[in-house]
Chain A
Amino acid sequence: MQQIPAASEPIVSLRDVKKSFGSLLVLDGVSFAVQRGEVLALIGRSGSGKSTALRCIDRFEKVDGGEIVVCGHRVDRPDVNLRALRQDVGIVFQSYNLFPHLTIEQNITLAPCAVKGVATAQAKDLARKVLAQVGLEEKLHAYPEQLSGGQQQRAAIARSLAMQPKVMLFDEVTSALDPELTAEVLKVIEQLAADGMTMVMVTHEMGFAKGIADRIVFMHRGKVHETGPASILTSPTTPELTQFVGTGNLKS
């Protein structure tokens, strides 16, 4: 095995990852790596395996074969320290999943207090800070159901940020939102990218992916079919990607 200097070691790397649900092979030898500060967009049709690949990174799915290393954690191994892994990885879901019985502040302070033992006063300062980052300072004491979808998703991003993750995963985070609310969430993610956050995102927003992603991974039938810089979206080399971006997916 080739020796790589620590500084350039990827934050996330998947090598030949395989995963089946019953007899259905959803990941058929997927490999890609994400460097520190890089933004990687996973795109592809529904059912192509992109969400499953993302969920494998945080071990919400166990892989059947291959190797996954995330921030030094061997995620493919059964003895991986899940709680240590998940302190390094933040994940944001399509359905926000804010805790409905807690205020936005409590949603944000819960994990830092319970997991990292941060003092309450400090955690509250942290909550104000991350909420300011997503432009929701005034919603500190609101309950999730009092917020719009876009605001809930931004609060969910803030909740994740409060754990100070080394990499953030976004699983179709704007799919439940109308174009206007989508725009406000994407603006927050753009700012994170500008601040140097390492991110892996599954998205259907091709225009956004093109604007923000350092690299695109196009998945097709459980494999990485085409990969490269964002420019592959405008000049794809495979017929599948050509067809995918040509079907009106690419908004400019």
Chain B
Amino acid sequence: MSLQLDFPAVLERWPSFVAGAVLTLELAAFATVLGALLGTLAAVGRGAHNALIAGACKAYVETIRNTPLLVQIFLVYFGLASLGLKFSAFTVAVAALTINVGAYTAEIMRAGFEAIPRGQIEAAEGLALSRLQIYWHIILLPAIEKVYPALTSQFVLLMLASSVCSQISAEELTAVANYIQSDTYRAFETYIIVAVLYVILSLVMRAGFWGLGLVLFPRRRRLGTPL
């Protein structure tokens, strides 16, 4: 038995691969930004004095963390459809991925918030800053800084997990691959190329987060300890 690989037959479809990779990156970008916002709010909400808000945030986080992503995607997809709401596959995918990554972000951010020493908050209170000002100026960036590696890994993982969105025919990289391999009968070559493309996308995201870290944490840049 000999292995015969025919990459040119698959590579001639490169415009489709590129389009799929771009769509995957777009999905990841939207879901990362929206999920970061949602997760941070949920982390703040979990610490709220109001038991209803805290309970709702906890229920959200636990529900999402204990169900599979694919099921969540189907729930959003068919849920919206049965309500008579029509959205593009892309929109549904962004919504489902946002809800998913938001829950994980909430847990990571909660760890970050809890790592802020009590003395920091007392010092800020002693300077007459309001609660909102304390969160914004004193807690938020140091909390993100403490969990930045965990947070960025989660977002890269999200990009990789977005491959399951092929199941609702969002034309992202894996969906493109499924189509090409069924058309060319060159499955192994196709998925090797797709795997390489995912590696490249991961590296692009990591480079992006490294650059963002330089902007967010000027102190680390100055002291030569960038994240």
**Given A111-B127, A114-B133, A115-B127, A93-B119 contact (CB < 8 Å):** yes
**Given A100-B142, A143-B219, A115-B120 contact (CB < 8 Å):** no
Interface string of B193-227 (1 = CB under 8 A from A): 00000000000000000000000010100110000
A101 to B227, CA, bound (A): 14
* Contact yes or no, A159 B127, CB < 8 A: yes
Cβ–Cβ < 8 Å partners of A87 in chain B: 128
A98 to B119, CA, bound (A): 9
In the complex formed, the residue of A with least CB distance to B123 is A97
In the complex formed, the residue of B with least CB distance to A169 is B126
A87 to B223, CA, bound (A): 33
Contact partner of B128 (CB less than 8 A), chosen from A93, A97, A98, A115, is: A115
Q: How many residues of chain B have a CB within 8 Å of chain A?
A: 22
Cβ–Cβ < 8 Å partners of A100 in chain B: 142, 219
A83 to B223, CA, bound (A): 34
Contact partner of B219 (CB less than 8 A), chosen from A60, A83, A101, A111, is: A101
Most buried by A among B117, B123, B129: B123
Minimum CB–CB distance for B134 against chain A, Å:
10
Interface string of A76-117 (1 = CB under 8 A from B): 000000111011011101010111110000000011001100
In the complex formed, the residue of B with least CB distance to A145 is B223
* Contact yes or no, B128 A86, CB < 8 A: yes
Cβ–Cβ < 8 Å partners of A93 in chain B: 119, 122-123
In the complex formed, the residue of A with least CB distance to B136 is A114
A99 to B127, CA, bound (A): 12
Contact partner of B145 (CB less than 8 A), chosen from A101, A110, A143, is: A101
Interface of B is mostly: helix
A102 to B201, CA, bound (A): 33
Q: Does B13 belong to the interface (CB within 8 Å)?
A: no
Minimum CB–CB distance for B221 against chain A, Å:
11
**Given A97-B120, A99-B120, A114-B133, A91-B126 contact (CB < 8 Å):** yes
In this complex, the interface size class of chain A, counting residues with CB under 8 Å from chain B, is 20 to 34
* Contact yes or no, B128 A58, CB < 8 A: no
Q: Does A163 belong to the interface (CB within 8 Å)?
A: yes
A95 to B126, CA, bound (A): 14
Q: Does B125 belong to the interface (CB within 8 Å)?
A: yes
A101 to B219, CA, bound (A): 6
* Contact yes or no, A111 B122, CB < 8 A: no
Q: Does B130 belong to the interface (CB within 8 Å)?
A: yes
* Contact yes or no, B127 A86, CB < 8 A: yes
Cβ–Cβ < 8 Å partners of B145 in chain A: 101
**Given A99-B123, A100-B219, A83-B130 contact (CB < 8 Å):** yes
* Contact yes or no, B141 A101, CB < 8 A: yes
A178 to B120, CA, bound (A): 23
Cβ–Cβ < 8 Å partners of B117 in chain A: 97
Minimum CB–CB distance for B159 against chain A, Å:
28
* Contact yes or no, B137 A90, CB < 8 A: no
Minimum CB–CB distance for B122 against chain A, Å:
6
Contact partner of A101 (CB less than 8 A), chosen from B126, B127, B142, is: B142
Q: Does B70 belong to the interface (CB within 8 Å)?
A: no
Q: Does B95 belong to the interface (CB within 8 Å)?
A: no
Contact partner of B129 (CB less than 8 A), chosen from A95, A97, A111, A146, is: A111
Minimum CB–CB distance for B27 against chain A, Å:
32
**Given A100-B219, A101-B145, A101-B217, A110-B127 contact (CB < 8 Å):** yes
A159 to B138, CA, bound (A): 15
A110 to B223, CA, bound (A): 22
List 5 A-B residue pairs with CB atoms under 8 Å apart, sorted by A's residue number. Answer: A86-B126, A90-B126, A99-B120, A100-B142, A156-B123
A143-B223, A159-B127 known; 11 new pairs, CB 8 Å cut-off, are: A60-B125, A83-B128, A97-B119, A99-B120, A100-B219, A110-B127, A110-B129, A110-B137, A111-B129, A114-B137, A145-B223
